[in-house]
Amino acid sequence: MEGSREQVTGIDDLPVRDELRGKSPYGAPQLDVPVRLNTNENPYPLPEALVERIAERVREAARNLNRYPDRDVVELRTELAKYLTKTGNHRVGVENVWAANGSNEVIQQLLQTFGGPGRTAIGFEPSYSMHALIARGTGTGWISGPRHEDFTIDLAAAQRWIAENKPDVVFITTPNNPTGNAVPPETVLALYEAAQTAKPSMVIVDEAYIEFSHGDSLLPLLEGRPNLVVSRTMSKAFGAAGLRLGYLAAHPAVVDAVQLVRLPYHLSAVTQATALAALEHTDTLLGYVEQLKGERDRLVGELRAIGYEVVESDANFVQFGRFEGEGGSHAAWQKILDRGVLVRDNGIPGWLRVSAGTPKENDAFLDAVRELLGFVGDTPTPPKEQSA
């Protein structure tokens, strides 16, 4: 037929950018099983008083949905600044805060501003995979930096990599996802100094899980460091994964800079109203965080007692292993799933990750991994001797 074109059957038939070909989108299996502990969600539903307050605020916002929302998100940024000042041991003003649709959009805006074609970013993997994916999506080159076998950052090697590659953006995730370990402040400072000497570069500290940490936030490090950014989210500690609200703290110039790339009216009036309601109930929500921290620590202790290796965790999840032999960690993931419990296989050989759930959910998980090891009485079979 005249004017016809070759039939498109898949992505590779489209004129997509070369760096996107053969890649897979970010995602985690969402399976209908009794216990889902694979996506680091807060397992506790929002308290009824907060649900009612959200309904009130959204009802108020709905009366003006014929108008655009506050483009600069001033009220929400003001309340976020108060929360950071109260919990972060560092005074933060509205001029230091920016908010977007989840921490992923915060990271995207930062890379649109400070990365892009002809520029590079470095992260220390395994770490949050969206850093590399968003880098690729913004045309930013990606460099995978070194870690030790125990998943801590190899500082000496990392300093060399920064000096040699001169990246425009450096990512430091603490607590790290998926391993759970925190990065010491002195390591962050050393990497910041290396980045300033090499370029200078922007350093983004991803603190998505900081409320679950045994230690403190790195917010005080912002003082006198205009190229340092701390990224946060309301998805985890606030139990608001469905809200999609992320935010950052940084020098006011950084806040001004990211507004060069943000879309007009990017945060809806409903999103802003819901987030403001959640911030009114901070004390209650952080009480749930304390419960989850206790459950996280219980998982660490129980897994080690059974016979697993466990990475020290400052997050609301635990990485455990090691699974060797035929099938490795994926075979172990499937056997745990067969017992009605979904955990995360991140593709790190020999390791799986489990999110801290309710006590009942955690008990179900622990029962499943005891069966996986052939646990009998007080004598577990070591993981490394298992075929799974």
Phi, psi at 63, each rounded to 5°: -70, -15
At 17, give phi and psi (nearest 5°): -60, 145
pLDDT at 28: 67
For each of the domains in the chain, give its residue range(s) and CATH number, in order of start. 26-45+283-385 (3.90.1150.10), 48-280 (3.40.640.10)
Distance of alpha carbon 182 from alpha carbon 227, whole angstroms: 21
Q: Are strands 351-355 and 202-206 parallel, antiparallel or unpaired?
A: unpaired
Q: What single-letter DSSP state applies at residue 379?
A: B
CA end-to-end distance (rounded Å), the chain: 56
Rounded to the nearest 5 percent, the helix, strand and coil shares of the chain are: 40, 15, 45
Q: What is the pLDDT along the chain (388 residues), one digit of tens a residue?
A: 454 556 777 888 888 888 888 877 776 667 889 999 999 999 999 999 999 999 999 999 999 999 999 999 999 999 999 999 999 999 999 999 999 999 999 999 999 999 999 999 999 999 999 999 999 999 999 999 999 999 999 999 999 999 999 999 999 999 999 999 999 999 999 999 999 999 999 999 999 999 999 999 999 999 999 999 999 999 999 999 999 999 999 999 999 999 999 999 999 999 999 999 999 999 999 999 999 999 999 999 999 999 999 999 999 999 999 998 767 899 999 999 999 999 999 889 999 999 999 999 999 999 999 998 765 334 444 444 333 3
Separation between Cα atoms, residue 93 and residue 95, nearest integer Å: 5
- pLDDT score, position 31: 87
| Residue 327: how many other CB atoms lie within 10 Å | 15
CA angle (76 as vertex; 217, 109 as ends), nearest 5:
70
Pairing type for strands 351-355 and 141-145 reads unpaired
- Give pTM, 2 decimals: 0.91
- Per-residue model confidence (pLDDT) at position 326: 66
Cβ count within 10 A of residue 41: 17
